[in-house]
Amino acid sequence: MDKKSFVLSNTKEVNKLVSTLLLIVCLIVFPALIVLTRAGLFKIDMGQLWIFTIISFILVILNFIFARKGVNPSFLKYFNIFISTMIVGMLATNVHIGIYLTYLFACILSGLYYDRKLNFAAFILGLISLAVSQYFRLQNTDRAAEYIPILMGFVIEFLAMFLLFNLLMKRLNRMFNSLADSEQQKQILDTLASVTEKSKVSSKVLFDSVNQFAAAMDETAKSNTEIAGNAQSAVNNCQDNLQYIKESSDFIVSISKDLETVSIKSAEMADVFNSSYQATQQSKEYMDITMQDMGIVEKSTVDTREVMTSLLETTRQIDGILGIINTISTQTNLLALNASIESARAGEAGKGFAVVANEIRKLAEQTGKATKDISELVTELQNKTNSVYETIDFGTNTIKSSIQRVMQTAEKFDELKELQDILKSKVNDIDSASVNSSSHSKKLIEVISKINNLVESSLNEMQSIASATQEQAAVMEEITSSFSAIENIASDLKSLNEELANLKI
């Protein structure tokens, strides 16, 4: 600890001591004055006493707090002297309180700091306090006109006491300086001892560091050799990787071309499928129209079958009528024959009747012949009608079977359409996937190209690193001292030298 630090430490301690002393004085003096005044021993104005008490307590409490909070010690020591002077001056204004040597209270407190400037400041403040307090003290007495003579007496007394006190302070300052010098010399010896010890430790550390660094250099040289070998191996690997990437790039370009071809074929397949899909749609429409036409044909065939059935029934009725006519014709022919026989029996009288009967017979024979011809025609018509009926019935069954097959075909077309819808969606997905694959393959080619460039750049950098590593290995073999450890030791020695330089012997 140097002299300046010693003085600063003393100032801090005295500030705490004085602040505590002033607080104790106030706690004793002012309550005692209040009690004695209440008891009638002092004739002091209570209002004035309370004002002095409040002001004094505010000042000493602030001073006490400042001393504990680490306020600037140089400021605080002057503040202590000012407070002590203020308290003495306020009490001295009262004529009933006799204060003489108490004016030296501030000077005595300043002596604790071993500071002659502070002693002089305390003397000046004491003179001012003496002059002001005596002025207010004599204003309320019949001795106000004697202010100057009384003041001069106090000043001479105060000056004599201060000079005596100042001589005492000089002796004390010498003792204080001797104590500070002794403390500084002790600090110097301790510092030199510390420097010597640190120098020993630093020398040992330096020796060990050099040995360690020599071993580290050997390991570093080996590591650099290994790194150089690894770097060369990395260069070879980069060259192999570059070759693999080039082969992969060619393969991906080939795949990209194939994907473009697949994309084109997928688009063509989609067009063909769309055409097939449209044709299927049209076939389905034609099938629906055919089913409608077949329905109409079926209805017409059924109607024709019904007509032929009615016609066959009519021919049967005609055949029945012809049978009746044939019977009538036969009977008429018999009757005509009987009439001819009877007319022959009648002779001349029956000749005319015989002629009529003969004509009737001829008509009956013609009628029978015509009836026979008609019957044969009706029979032939019936046979043909039956044949047509059977043909129509077969055609009706055939049409029904055809309609059934057409309906089944329509159902298959519906199923085919559903499958084509699914297939169309899949074809569209394949087409989109082909387009995306072609696009991705192009991007992949770009990425492979960039990777190829990066690998070529990395190869160049690795070759540079390998070359630099080999050079570094050669340089590291020539280094023989540890710059890092020497730098730390030099820093320690520099700090010690600065510490010695700051000491003032």
Mean pLDDT of all residues in 457-470: 69
| Other Cβ atoms closer than 10 A to 399 | 19
Higher pLDDT: 165 or 147? It is: 147
Tens of pLDDT along 36-70?
Answer: 888 888 777 888 889 989 998 999 999 899 888 88
Mean pLDDT of all residues in 120-142: 79
Q: Which of 164-178, 230-244, 386-400, 452-466 has the highest mean pLDDT?
A: 386-400
- Mean pLDDT lowest for which of 81-85, 338-342, 369-373, 501-505? 501-505
Domain ranges of the chain: 3-141, 254-432
Give 67-106 as a DSSP string.
Answer: HHHT--HHHHHHHHHHHHHHHHHHHHTSTTS--SGGGGHH
pLDDT higher than threshold 60 for residue 481: no
Mean pLDDT of all residues in 94-121: 74
pLDDT at 334: 83
- Tell me the pLDDT band of 215, cut-offs 50, 70 and 90: low
pLDDT at 193: 47
Superfamily of 254-432 according to CATH: Methyl-accepting chemotaxis protein (1.10.287.950)
pLDDT higher than threshold 90 for residue 430: no
Distance, in Å, from the CA atom of 324 to the CA atom of 143, rounded to the nearest integer, reads 197
pLDDT higher than threshold 90 for residue 113: no
pLDDT higher than threshold 80 for residue 116: no
Distance, in Å, from the CA atom of 452 to the CA atom of 443, rounded to the nearest integer, reads 14
Q: Does the pTM exceed 0.75?
A: no
Q: Which of 20-24, 164-168, 237-241 has the highest mean pLDDT?
A: 20-24
Classify the C-alpha dihedral 78-81-82-83 as positive or negative: positive
Please classify residue 331 by burial: count the beta carbons closer than 10 Å to its beta carbon, then call 0-12 exposed, 13-18 middle and 19+ buried: exposed
pLDDT at 188: 45
Helix, strand, coil shares of the chain as percentages rounded to 5? Answer: 95, 0, 5
Grouping H, G, I as helix, E, B as strand and the rest as coil, residue 113 is coil
- Tell me the pLDDT band of 273, cut-offs 50, 70 and 90: low
